[in-house]
Structure formats: structure tokens, C-alpha cells
Amino acid sequence: MRDFIEHCLKRVLALQVRLYACQARLASCTDTEALHDLRIALRQLRSLLRPLRGLPAVDALEQGAAVLGRLSGPLRDREVLVAELESLGLSHLAPADEVQRVQGYAAIAGSRELADLMLLLDAWPANWREAARQNQLNAVDKRIHRRLQRQQQKLAQALRDPAHDRHRLRLLIKRVRYAAETYPAQSGLSKAVQLRLKRAQSQLGDWHDRLQWLAQSESLPGLEPCRVVWQQALGLAEQRADDALLALYGDFPLER
């Protein structure tokens, strides 16, 4: 148990170092991968913390990571859209310019949300060790296993939902996949299953991107030339996503 507690502590500290590096890269406003790397670090931090909810110092830290994720989301969505327009040879249709991109990076690097998260991370080691001393982390690995099993059952049920809500399935698949990467022993999912989850997430991501772009094109007339391409791609993405979801049925049976 002590090894597991120390492992969690080291993982959070390593992610804190990565977030500091991402903050510096964003502040320089020259690194186009900095925002993406920041969001990956946030995702990994939340995946580590989510099964630990309810334990001392966890909830505030997980919430802080979620708030920063929401803040940085729109700018990342714009980056993805710009990359799509460039691939179509239509980069001149991008809804914002380089100045706005740089300003966005600087705003996130200097945001109160990021500063608050760093303060919570500074306090994490002392709070985590204090919880261990007070025996509040007893059987934490079993707690994680139970919560990951509940996550997987939610996915199993959603896969069989006649309403077939792709948005909810995308969220559930992300949570199950990232949890399995973070806690492989507790998740019980093989590498093959994780690869199928990754494929389903990717296909649902392609569908979601095109749905978003089509919605934006309704309010941004400049994107009108892309609508036909995106509408055609949306139908193909839906079929590929459904095929990838079907492949998960056997991996996530319903409990009886």
C-alpha cells in the first residue's frame, strides 16, 4: 500500500513539472504544441484523481484541473479547425489571426485558473502524506478498482442504449480508456481492449469535430465553402464510429 501511495504522489509531482514547462512554453507564444501538451497533462492528472474523489485534497485539485481544461478548450478547438482548413488549402478562411492566437496563449499562461491549480499542486504532497498518516488511504487500490468497474458498466449500458448518444459514449470511452492507462492493474483491461477504445475514441472525435465545424459554419459565413466537404465527411465518420462502437460490445458485457 505504501508503494502505491508513493507512486500516486510521484505521478502528480511529475505532472506538475510538465504543467510548469507548458506554462513557460505558452508564455513564450512561439510553441504551437504547448497548448496540446498542457491539455494532455491535465487529462492525465484528472484520470489519476477521478477514481480518488472523496479523499482529502483530491476534489479541489481535480476540480481545478477541470476548470483549466474548460478554459483552454475553445483555443484548442480553434487550433484543430485551423489545421483542418490548412489541409483543405483554405487557411485564409481561419476565423482568427496570429495575433489572437498569441494573445490566447498568453492569457492561459497568465490565467488565475492556472495559478490556482499550481497552488493546489504545491499543497498536494503534504496533504496526501497527512491523509496516509491518518489511515485515510487504506484500501485505496480497492476503491479505485470498484470505481473503474462502475465506469466500465456505465459504458456497457450506454453501448446498448437504443438512443445511441454518441456524445455521451465519447465521454465514457475517454474516461474508461484514460483510467485504464493510468491504473492498468485496477482496470483489468488488456492492451487489445485499450486499442479498440482508442480507435473508437478517434472515430468519435472525427465525427465530433465535423459536427462542430458545421455548426460554426452556420454563424461564420466565411466557412461556407467547407460545408459540402464536412457534410460528406460527417456521414462517413458516423459509420466508422458506429463500427468501432460495435467492436466494443464483447469487451464490455453487462453485469447479470
Write the DSSP string, the chain: -HHHHHHHHHHHHHHHHHHHHHHHHHHHT--TTHHHHHHHHHHHHHHHHGGGTTSTTHHHHHHHHHHHHHHHHHHHHHHHHHHHHHHTT-GGG-SS-HHHHHHHHHHHHT-HHHHHHHHHHHHHHHHHHHHHHTTTTTTHHHHHHHHHHHHHHHHHHHHT-TT--HHHHHHHHHHHHHHHHH-HHHH---HHHHHHHHHHHHHHHHHHHHHHHHHHHHH-GGGGGGHHHHHHHHHHHHHHHHHHHHTTGGGSPPP-
For residue 94, what pLDDT is reported? 78
- Alpha carbons 14 and 33: distance in angstroms, whole number: 19
Q: What is the pLDDT of residue 106?
A: 95
Residue 97 predicted with pLDDT over 80:
no
When pLDDT is cut at 50, 70 and 90, the band that residue 256 belongs to is low
Q: Which amino acid is at 148?
A: L
pTM of the model: 0.91
Q: pLDDT tens across 5-29, in order?
A: 888 899 999 999 999 999 999 999 8
Provide mean pLDDT across the span 27-49: 93
* pLDDT value, residue 2: 77
| CA–CA distance, 74 with 81 (Å, rounded to integer) | 11
pLDDT of 55 strictly over 90: no
- For residue 84, what are the CA distances in angstroms to 4, 143, 150, 243? 42, 42, 37, 24
* pLDDT tens, position by position, 103-156: 999 999 999 999 999 999 999 999 999 999 998 888 888 899 999 999 999 999
Mean pLDDT of 151-170: 92
pLDDT band at residue 204 using 50, 70 and 90 as cut-offs: very high
Q: Over 90: is that where the pLDDT of 100 sits?
A: no
Instruction: State the average pLDDT for the chain.
Output: 92
Q: How confident is the model at residue 1 (pLDDT cuts 50, 70, 90)?
A: low
